[in-house]
Homo-oligomer: A and B are copies of this chain.
Amino acid sequence: MSTIMSRRDLDFLLHEWLGTDQLLARARFADHSRDTVDAVLDLAEQVATTHFAPHNRASDLNEPTYDGTRVTVIPEVGVALRAFADAGFLSAAVHAPGESPVPASVFAACMSWFQAANAGTSGYALLTMAAANLLRAHGTPEQVERYAVPMTDGRWFGTMMLSEPHAGSNLADITTRAEPQRDGTYRLFGRKMWISGGDHEITENIVHLVLARTPGAPAGTKGISLFVVPKLLVGDDGSLGERNDITLAGINHKMGFRGTVNTAPVLGDGASRPGGAAGAVGHLVGVENRGMALMFSMMNEARIGVGLCAAAIGYTGYLESLAYARERLQGRPVGADPTTPQVPLVDHPDVRRMLLAQKSYVEGALALVLLAARLFDDAETAEDAADREQAAALLGLLTPVVKSWPSQYGPAANDLAIQVLGGAGYTRDFDVEQHYRDNRLNPIHEGTHGIQALDLLGRKVMLDGGKSLGLLVGRIQATADRARATGPDGAALADRLAAACSDLVATTAQLATLGDPARMLADATAYLEATGHVVVAWIWLDQWLAAHGKEGGFYDGKRAAAWFFLTRELPKVAAMLALLRDADGLTLGLDPDVL
């Protein structure tokens, strides 16, 4: 049994819960069937197991180096990514003419294998797919042909260059300049920061998508444009030319996630002089000053990718600690005779608690991400326009939750995995300590936890007057109604969910009446966390329904985890919502000098 991911659970979520058969019946997926879905999942497991998992620790122990000229990563990374591309995963989800994409939800299930096996190596692939998808969506046909196609082929990799040293979370303040040239290109000058995959020699070229300001652009996010800036210039025939004027100020040395090189690029300092002049040559994507919107189509994809990564790292830690707890003999039940043999760790109730908590977190998080991917599929392919719109609205609402909830509870699961192993879990002889370090990145990158909270409450819930939230509440109520119809157990769980959901709705309504946006948003993080718990409780009740009436250990496990989440986790929501309703302004009004 693999300790990377659970194929059984993926099959359950895709087929018994999300009803992927109905999705496959749609025209877009005409070339697919349960058999092809099974085959692509088999392939993901095989490539992840063979090429990704074996060097996960090696990438941690031998992090990328930069000698002032080149970035070196261990060779296994390139080999794995070549295998990933050769197996067709870089192109599997691309919706391009002549392609027969797998659904996004099936693709996310595949990616969970790679993320769980080796998040660091997977990072290069995810960035490349996101960059290629952005160009396919918003680039000219020539940009697609010249830059997106080589990325989809795996010959070149991609990056997203947003942050700058003085502007990390706050992109409104970026200052990288893009000066228009007579030939229609731009020259870029500035410093970037926190750029994953920003340089390496895994591929012969790297396609950077860079945010910058053109002369006279408005202040703030309304004056930001998006550019394609290749590491090596590309000729009209696709041939590689001169080195572009991009170098590195250095690389960042992280606590975890070390396999993905993280860089501080410098554009236009004259280290190279393409065409005889300093300045990094870039090509505008879309029109000037609309770069943030374009980048956000990539960012939304990246945020769901972060959620999947956090869920997957949490998941593999759960499976590893479970395997350890079944094997390791230690102690005896309360009151047992000391001359009897020791029992496996899993026989201790507190160890079971730690395993069941992990199970409820990681299976809940994975289901949440797959649901988001399914909403993406529905938004693209549902037959009814209203269904497509609803799916898009729900996906928009849930994106901050999909990014942040797994990023909070995946690490919480990894923390418990260490605790199950005890001292052994704290050593580098086992992988759970690396998971704990690797997963700690996820609440930070692609928009911190606090920024997701502002996005959820300030934009997604309030800007449409609660309409998207209403859609979510409708789905939650429908699940609760179905659960009630199954009998007393289902009704007991449904009542808990419905009460928490009503509490969330009432709290939202009260926040809406506050008027003052600063006051409304002061405790947005509590709102994000409460919403996340309600959403995951809903997903657990929905999984409980998918397991209802089915016999066997797998379904008993689903029932136990659902019960655990709805009875032991969901009650935490009450305290969060109470403080939101109090709206005491404690942090808003606090004089920071007293800290």
Binding site for B on A (CB under 8 A): 163, 166-170, 172-173, 193-194, 219-221, 252-256, 322, 325-326, 329-335, 338-339, 342, 344, 346-353, 355-356, 359, 415, 418-419, 422-429, 433, 436-437, 440-441, 443-445, 448-450, 453-454, 458, 517-518, 521-525, 553-554, 556-557, 560, 563-564, 567-568, 571-572, 574-575, 578-579, 582, 584, 586-588, 590-595
By a CB distance below 8 angstroms, the chain B residues around A422 are 168-169, 444, 448
Q: Across the two chains, which residue of chain B brings its CB closest to A421?
A: B444
By a CB distance below 8 angstroms, the chain B residues around A521 are 334, 349
B553 touches A352 (CB 8 A): no
How many angstroms from the CA of A59 to the CA of B290 in the assembled complex? 49
By a CB distance below 8 angstroms, the chain B residues around A219 are 338-339
Question: Can you offer 30 A-B residue contacts whose CB atoms are under 8 A?
Answer: A166-B329, A168-B423, A170-B342, A172-B331, A172-B338, A220-B338, A253-B427, A254-B427, A255-B436, A334-B454, A334-B458, A334-B518, A334-B521, A346-B595, A349-B518, A350-B453, A350-B587, A352-B588, A352-B592, A353-B525, A415-B440, A418-B444, A423-B445, A556-B591, A560-B594, A567-B582, A567-B584, A568-B575, A568-B579, A571-B575
By a CB distance below 8 angstroms, the chain B residues around A448 are 419, 422
B440 touches A426 (CB 8 A): yes
How many angstroms from the CA of A254 to the CA of B584 in the assembled complex? 43
Nearest CB on B from A571, distance (A): 4
How many angstroms from the CA of A352 to the CA of B564 in the assembled complex? 33
How many angstroms from the CA of A168 to the CA of B423 in the assembled complex? 8
B347 touches A450 (CB 8 A): no
A351 touches B444 (CB 8 A): no
Q: Across the two chains, which residue of chain B brings its CB closest to A342?
A: B173
A437 touches B255 (CB 8 A): yes
Nearest CB on B from A544, distance (A): 14
Take A356-B595, A591-B553 as given contacts and tell me if A450 and B351 are in contact as well, using a CB distance cutoff of 8 Å.
Answer: yes
By a CB distance below 8 angstroms, the chain B residues around A172 are 331-332, 338
B350 touches A194 (CB 8 A): no
A564 touches B586 (CB 8 A): yes
By a CB distance below 8 angstroms, the chain B residues around A331 are 169-170, 172-173
Nearest CB on B from A167, distance (A): 8
Which among B346, B444, B563 is the interface contact of A592 at CB below 8 angstroms? Answer: B346
How many angstroms from the CA of A349 to the CA of B590 in the assembled complex? 8
By a CB distance below 8 angstroms, the chain B residues around A560 are 586, 590, 594
By a CB distance below 8 angstroms, the chain B residues around A355 are 592, 595
Highest count of chain B CB atoms <10 Å: which of A252, A350, A448, A567: A350
How many angstroms from the CA of A448 to the CA of B453 in the assembled complex? 34
By a CB distance below 8 angstroms, the chain B residues around A426 are 254-256, 440-441, 444
Which among B168, B350, B418, B563 is the interface contact of A330 at CB below 8 angstroms? Answer: B168
Which among B348, B352, B453 is the interface contact of A595 at CB below 8 angstroms? Answer: B352
Which among B350, B428, B591 is the interface contact of A524 at CB below 8 angstroms? Answer: B350
A221 touches B338 (CB 8 A): yes
By a CB distance below 8 angstroms, the chain B residues around A347 are 592
Nearest CB on B from A304, distance (A): 20
A356 touches B444 (CB 8 A): no
How many angstroms from the CA of A586 to the CA of B360 in the assembled complex? 13
Q: Across the two chains, which residue of chain B brings its CB closest to A322?
A: B595
Q: Across the two chains, which residue of chain B brings its CB closest to A408?
A: B415
How many angstroms from the CA of A140 to the CA of B67 in the assembled complex? 61
Which among B252, B332, B594 is the interface contact of A554 at CB below 8 angstroms? Answer: B594
Q: Across the two chains, which residue of chain B brings its CB closest to A319?
A: B595
B427 touches A553 (CB 8 A): no
How many angstroms from the CA of A517 to the CA of B346 in the assembled complex? 19
Nearest CB on B from A353, distance (A): 5
By a CB distance below 8 angstroms, the chain B residues around A346 are 592, 595
- Given contact pairs A252-B429, A348-B450, A571-B575, a sample of 7 additional A-B residue pairs in the complex whose CB atoms are under 8 Å apart: A346-B592, A353-B525, A356-B587, A419-B443, A419-B449, A426-B440, A553-B593
How many angstroms from the CA of A456 to the CA of B588 in the assembled complex? 38
How many angstroms from the CA of A255 to the CA of B590 in the assembled complex? 37
By a CB distance below 8 angstroms, the chain B residues around A356 are 586-587, 590, 595
Q: Across the two chains, which residue of chain B brings its CB closest to A334?
A: B518
Q: Across the two chains, which residue of chain B brings its CB closest to A252?
A: B427
Which among B350, B440, B590, B595 is the interface contact of A525 at CB below 8 angstroms? Answer: B350
How many angstroms from the CA of A169 to the CA of B450 in the assembled complex? 38
A170 touches B592 (CB 8 A): no
How many angstroms from the CA of A169 to the CA of B575 in the assembled complex? 34
Which among B168, B333, B349, B579 is the interface contact of A567 at CB below 8 angstroms? Answer: B579
How many angstroms from the CA of A159 to the CA of B332 in the assembled complex? 27
A440 touches B444 (CB 8 A): no
How many angstroms from the CA of A237 to the CA of B166 in the assembled complex? 66
Nearest CB on B from A361, distance (A): 13
By a CB distance below 8 angstroms, the chain B residues around A523 are 349, 353
By a CB distance below 8 angstroms, the chain B residues around A193 are 423
Highest count of chain B CB atoms <10 Å: which of A329, A332, A443, A568: A568
Q: Across the two chains, which residue of chain B brings its CB closest to A163?
A: B423
Which among B322, B339, B429, B441 is the interface contact of A253 at CB below 8 angstroms? Answer: B429
Q: Across the two chains, which residue of chain B brings its CB closest to A344?
A: B592
